[in-house]
């Protein structure tokens, strides 16, 4: 029998207090005050659904082997590409081999649940081989909208397989219908919703009880059998009604994280699910429900394996990197919602030459370097001629993944001249632990976080966005260890 | 070691435009102006020039590729003309081509030119372009020259366990000195004295470098005509020829960028080129033997670490030397007597030849007393192209 083998959440470092939004936009819509409690997680200027999914995937695979993963499914409604599979970008970042099945799931907010279901079915049909599901979203509401208040950015990842599952997959039940409560057209950036009461009363309050009841009926269960029911719904009144309808006790319901992260779209049920694992006990029945144009309900039973699972705080750990983004216009700038002046330097062409990046895809996506068989020197980018001045061996290299290796700062600066929507550009030379050196941009930090000799970890980020061709290009950055608490 | 070119090449004449914001002049105008001065100084005719090299960095907004621009601007009569590019060291690279031609006997008289028009870029600083190739653009930071050089300061302070305040004090004095010297130089781009307070409190461009730690971005051209010492003595019997004592170039091996041996607090190519240049020139004690220097102070911190890389100041000792006035115009070893890149300006392709022009003019005692280095007989130029972890460094030594 297959089940969940590993889990992890990823919330970006920056949080926007909802009162900051209200202070800036309350003049437009005073009713926003009713939803101005708590804060939402905000992707940094160099993050999107792909990078957040990769970050969650990296944490999820900690202690597992990327080359044992045989499928990768990515769920999002905010893909940076209509045509180009993001699952493969994520697989590349995680150094998962190319001999895998991959797919992007999207369209509906319930796609996170659908992707997880597909992964479980893949594993079940393939002798318990491992499949990774990553879900992430970075949805936008217009300035001063309720969506802007509710939506947060985040990701979750679940590794499924047959070996040592911490929770067995016991069954599923799905509902799919063209129930349109919110949508985005193919060319639309901002989420559009029909009336609130419609969404709450006819959407969440009707479909979620229906899918839960259907699953219980199919498997001979009652809602009260579950230790935790995990479902997304940002309406407080709606949640109360759902719980009343299903007869759920308060301790049976997983926190909706609205005050912590906001609604992270396709990732949200999986994010909540990762939190549920932190406290789950063997024998607990967990019910995961995703919502959007229908529902997927997945039923799990926690195994004794959970007791020996290391680093169980794979949700809470992401909260430790918290930093407040106290500037609403900076948020708008990061999200591309207001044009800002980058100067003429910011207009220089950045051409993405795909044949070139393909040849170096492992170095670019996977931060793969090389290690000399003669002298053992690590090097990045991968070299054919050993860079060690005392060696110089030719074609004696073996590939080496450096993304989990960490490093130390050799030199650094904070550059006000470089064109970026998040000045200053902070970067410097980094020595990889174990040898070798490269220069990296530093992410999620300020100049004060840096010192020569300081430890860094590596994180997959947006390298640049080419607005002329609508191309997002990814590479790795270094995060000072003071702000990145890596799961260890 | 090979014999080198010591005393095999003499400078017959030189020219250098005023560096600055020449909104009304093209590269061709600048070249023609430098050429006129250079030819008058050399006392030869155009038909005497047997080969030419032109150093220029940013071809896209400037003179284009190839040697045609120089040849067709000056209407050089079907002689070999080569455009060379080696980052900010392109000017010295052109000089090297001409010197090698003469030293080898391939030519008797050769021209080296350098030109750059940066004020057609549209913004301050150098244009953002893939100077290390497109692939590295995908994996290296969104960086600028000040940010890449600024890292010398953080690495230097850490290496020598020196407070950043001390580093900042020393580099402030460097910029102050260049401004003092620039005031006296009518060809310099920036001719305004600024106080150390103004320099030190200027807004950060890239930590810890402020605005006044960065050199000017200018338009300009410089030129040299070289020949054999014998021809020079014959054509110019009334002057002691300025001879090339050494001309060395060192290029990064990739070790600085990708191997963990480099401390980031100095420039390895400078160390290598200087060592070879001193050997070629027969210099044992550069601190005592050299009379003046023009170094590549693209940023004040570059000049500071260069004092150690050239083995003038001891390791960790540059700040004290700088603050003691050792490198001031009236110090023991004046450095940047013309204002340097900081104040003379930095039209990239021309800068290496501008440095040589200053040493040449000083050795010939051509400047007014207020800026003439007395009894100068041996001078050094240091022309660095690229960035600390990946660069081209040329060191030339000129003497009587």
For A378-399, what is each residue's pLDDT tens digit? Answer: 999 999 999 999 999 999 999 9
Round to whole Å and give the CA distance between A389 and A374. 13
CA dihedral A300, A304, A309, A311 (to 10 degrees): 80
The C-alpha atoms of residue A470 and residue B139 are separated, in whole angstroms, by 19
Q: What's the rounded mean pLDDT across residues A206-234?
A: 97
Q: Identify which of B178, B204, B169 has the alpha carbon closest to the alpha carbon of residue B321.
A: B169
- Out of A364, A418, A436, name the one closest to residue B258 (CB): A436
B127 contacts A427? CB cut-off 8 A:
no
- Chain A residue numbers touching B255 (CB-CB < 8 A): 387, 389
Contact residues for B192 (Cβ-Cβ < 8 A; gap 6+):
B179, B182, B183
Model confidence at A297: pLDDT above 80:
yes
Count of CB atoms situated within 10 Å of the CB of B107: 21
- Interface test mutation site (partner B, options A350, A368, A397, A413, max chain B beta carbons within 10 A): A413
Rounded distance between C-alpha atoms, residue A11 and residue A131, angstroms: 22
What's the distance, CA B380 to chain centroid?
Answer: 10
Burial A282-312 (b: 16+ CB within 10 A, else e): eebbbbbbbbbbbbbbbbbbbbebbeebeeb
Could you read off the pLDDT of A338-365 as tens digits, one per residue?
Answer: 999 998 888 888 899 999 999 999 999 9
Q: CA of A308: how far to CAs of A304, A311, A312, A363, B363, in Å?
A: 8, 9, 9, 35, 80
Spatial contact of B340 and B384, defined as CB atoms under 8 Å apart: no
- CB count in 10 Å sphere of residue A192: 14
Contacts of B254 in chain A (CB under 8 A): 383, 387
Contact A275, A257 (CB under 8 A): yes
Instruction: Give B259 to chain A, closest Cα distance, Å.
Output: 5
Smallest CA-to-CA distance from B295 within B169, B216, B176, B394 is with B394
Residues in chain B: 400
Mark yes or no for CB contact B138/A475 under 8 Å.
yes
CB atoms within 10 A of CB A116: 31
Q: How many CB atoms lie within 10 A of CB B88?
A: 29
Q: Which two tokens stand for residue B321?
A: 């030397």
The pLDDT assigned to A6 comes to 98
Q: Which helix (H) or strand (E) holds B90?
A: helix B90-104
pLDDT of residue B1: 64
Q: Which domains does chain B have, with CATH numbers?
A: 10-120+219-243 (3.40.47.10), 142-215+245-399 (3.40.47.10)
Separation of alpha carbons A294 and A174, rounded Å: 7
CA A446, A452, A455 angle in degrees (round to 5)? Answer: 75
| Environment class of A244 (CB within 10 Å of its CB; exposed 0-12, middle 13-18, buried 19+) | exposed
Q: Are B74 and B46 in contact (CB under 8 A)?
A: yes
From first to last of the 400 residues of chain B, give the pLDDT tens digit.
688 999 999 999 999 999 999 999 999 999 999 999 999 999 999 999 999 999 999 988 889 999 999 999 999 999 999 999 999 999 999 999 999 999 999 999 999 999 999 999 988 888 888 889 999 999 999 999 999 999 999 999 999 999 999 999 999 999 999 999 999 999 999 999 999 999 999 999 999 999 999 998 999 999 999 999 999 999 999 999 999 999 999 999 999 999 999 999 999 999 999 999 999 999 999 999 999 999 999 999 999 999 999 999 999 999 999 999 999 999 999 999 999 999 999 999 999 999 999 999 999 999 999 999 999 999 999 999 999 999 999 999 999 9
Query: Under 8 Å CB-to-CB from B142, ≥6 apart: which residues?
Result: A418, A419, A420, A425, A427, A441, A464
How many residues does this entry show for chain A?
A: 488
Distance CA(A61)–CA(A453), nearest Å, equals 28
- List phi, psi (to 5°) of B251: -120, 140
Q: Give the residues across from A103 on adjacent strands.
A: A73
Domain A3-334, classified CATH 3.40.47.10, yes or no: yes
CA of B253, closest CA in chain A: separation in Å?
8
Alpha-carbon Rg for chain A in angstroms: 23
- Bridge partners of residue B250, in order along the sequence: B393
Q: What is the ipTM of this complex?
A: 0.94
Tell whether B139 lies on the interface with A, counting CB pairs under 8 A.
Answer: yes
Chain B partners within 8 Å of A458 (Cβ): none
3-state secondary structure of A127: coil
Instruction: Note whether B147 contacts A475, CB cutoff 8 Å.
Output: no
Are the C-beta atoms of residues A459 and A435 closer than 8 Å to each other? Answer: no
**For an interface test with A, which of B141, B253, B261, B266 has the most A Cβ atoms less than 10 Å from its Cβ?**
B141
What six digits make up the tokens of A230? Answer: 């995990």
Q: Please state, in angstroms and as integers, the Cα–Cα distance from residue B94 to each residue in A213, A487, B36, B86, B396, following that order.
A: 82, 55, 18, 9, 12
Q: How far apart are CA A39 and CA A346, in angstroms?
A: 32
- Write out the catalytic residue numbers of B: 88, 346
How many CB atoms lie under 10 A from the CB of residue A349? 10
Which residues, at least 6 apart from A166, have a Cβ–Cβ distance to it below 8 Å?
A3, A4, A5, A6, A7, A277, A280, A302, A303, A305, A306, A309
- Secondary structure string (H, E, C) spanning B60-75: HHCCCCCCHHHHHHHC
- pLDDT tops 50 at residue A167: yes
Where do the domains of chain A lie?
Answer: 3-334, 406-488
Which H or E run includes B357? Answer: helix B348-363
């Amino acid at each position: 029998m297959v089940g969940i083998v590993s889990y992890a959440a990823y919330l970006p470092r920056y949080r926007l207090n909802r009162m900051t939004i209200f202070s800036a936009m309350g003049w437009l819509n005073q009713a926003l005050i009713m939803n101005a409690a708590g804060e939402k997680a905000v992707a940094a200027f160099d993050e999107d659904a792909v990078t957040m999914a990769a970050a969650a995937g990296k944490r999820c695979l900690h202690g597992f082997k990327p080359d044992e993963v045989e499928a990768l499914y990515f769920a999002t409604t905010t893909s940076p590409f209509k045509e180009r599979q993001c699952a493969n970008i994520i697989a590349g970042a995680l150094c998962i081999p190319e001999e895998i099945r991959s797919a992007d799931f999207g369209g509906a907010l319930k796609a996170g649940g659908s992707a997880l279901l597909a992964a479980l079915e893949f594993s079940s049909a393939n002798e318990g081989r491992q499949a990774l599901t990553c879900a992430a979203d970075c949805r936008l509401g217009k300035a001063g909208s309720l969506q802007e208040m509710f939506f947060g950015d985040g990701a979750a990842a679940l590794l499924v397989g047959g070996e040592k599952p911490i929770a067995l997959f016991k069954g599923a039940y799905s509902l799919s219908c063209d129930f349109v409560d919110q949508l985005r057209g193919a060319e639309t950036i901002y989420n559009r919703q029909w009336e609130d009461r419609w969404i709450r009363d006819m959407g969440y309050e009707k479909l979620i009880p229906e899918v839960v009841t259907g699953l219980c009926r199919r498997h001979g269960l009652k809602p009260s059998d579950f230790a935790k029911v995990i479902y997304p719904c940002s309406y407080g009144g709606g949640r109360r009604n759902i719980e009343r309808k299903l007869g759920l006790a308060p301790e049976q319901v997983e926190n909706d994280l609205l005050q912590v992260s906001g609604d992270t779209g396709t990732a949200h049920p999986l994010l909540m699910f990762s939190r549920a694992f932190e406290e789950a006990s063997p024998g607990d029945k967990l019910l995961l429900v995703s919502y959007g144009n229908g529902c997927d309900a997945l039923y799990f039973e926690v195994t004794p394996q959970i007791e020996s699972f290391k680093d169980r705080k794979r949700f809470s750990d992401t909260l430790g990197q918290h930093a407040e983004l106290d500037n609403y216009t900076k948020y708008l700038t990061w999200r591309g919602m207001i044009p800002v002046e980058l100067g003429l330097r910011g207009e220089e062409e950045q051409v993405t030459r795909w044949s070139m990046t393909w040849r170096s895809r492992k170095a670019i996506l996977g931060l793969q370097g090389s290690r000399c068989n003669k002298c053992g020197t690590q090097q990045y980018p991968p070299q054919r001629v050993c860079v060690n001045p005392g060696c110089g061996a030719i074609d004696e290299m073996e590939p080496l993944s450096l993304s989990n290796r960490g490093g130390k700062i050799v030199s650094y600066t904070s550059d006000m001249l470089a064109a970026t929507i998040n000045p200053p550009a902070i970067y410097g030379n980094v020595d990889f632990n174990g040898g070798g050196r490269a220069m990296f941009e530093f992410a999620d930090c300020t100049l004060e976080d840096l010192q020569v000799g300081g430890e860094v970890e590596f994180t997959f980020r947006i390298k640049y966005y080419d607005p002329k061709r609508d191309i997002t290009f990814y590479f790795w950055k270094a995060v000072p260890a003071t702000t990145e608490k890596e799961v260890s | 070691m090979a014999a080198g070119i010591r005393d095999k090449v003499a400078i017959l004449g030189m020219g250098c435009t005023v560096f600055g914001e020449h909104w009304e002049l093209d590269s061709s105008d600048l070249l023609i102006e430098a050429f006129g001065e250079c030819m008058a100084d050399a006392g030869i005719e155009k038909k005497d020039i047997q080969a030419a090299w032109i150093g220029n960095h940013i071809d896209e907004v400037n003179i284009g590729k190839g040697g045609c621009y120089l040849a067709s601007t000056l209407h050089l009569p079907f002689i070999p003309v080569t455009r060379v590019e080696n980052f900010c060291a392109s000017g010295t690279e052109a000089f090297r081509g001409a010197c090698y031609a003469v030293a080898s006997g391939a030519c008797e008289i050769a021209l080296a030119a350098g030109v750059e028009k940066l004020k057609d870029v549209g913004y301050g600083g150098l244009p953002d372009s893939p100077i290390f190739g497109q692939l590295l653009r995908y994996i290296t930071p969104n960086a600028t020259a000040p940010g890449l050089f600024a890292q010398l300061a953080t690495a230097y302070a850490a290496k020598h366990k020196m407070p950043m305040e001390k580093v900042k004090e020393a580099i402030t004095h460097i910029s102050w000195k260049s401004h003092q010297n620039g005031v006296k130089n009518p060809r310099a781009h920036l001719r305004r004295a600024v106080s150390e307070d103004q320099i030190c409190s200027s807004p950060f461009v890239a930590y810890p470098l402020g605005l006044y730690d960065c050199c000017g971005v200018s338009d300009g051209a410089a030129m040299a005509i070289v020949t054999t010492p014998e021809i020079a003595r014959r054509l110019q019997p009334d002057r002691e020829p300025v001879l090339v004592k050494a001309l060395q170039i060192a290029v990064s091996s990739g070790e600085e960028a990708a191997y963990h041996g480099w401390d980031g607090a100095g420039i390895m190519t400078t160390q290598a080129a200087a060592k070879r240049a001193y050997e070629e020139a027969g210099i044992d004690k550069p601190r005592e033997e050299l009379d003046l220097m023009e170094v590549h102070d693209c940023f004040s911190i570059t000049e500071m670490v260069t004092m150690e890389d050239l083995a003038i100041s001891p390791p960790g000792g540059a700040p004290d030397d700088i603050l003691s006035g050792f490198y001031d115009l009236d110090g023991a070893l004046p450095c940047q007597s013309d204002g340097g890149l900081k104040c003379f300006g930095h039209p990239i392709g021309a800068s290496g030849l501008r440095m040589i022009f200053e040493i040449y003019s000083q050795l010939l005692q051509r400047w007014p007393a207020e800026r003439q280095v007395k009894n100068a007989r041996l001078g050094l130029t240091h022309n660095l192209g690229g960035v600390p972890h990946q660069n081209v460094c040329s060191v030339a030594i000129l003497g009587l």
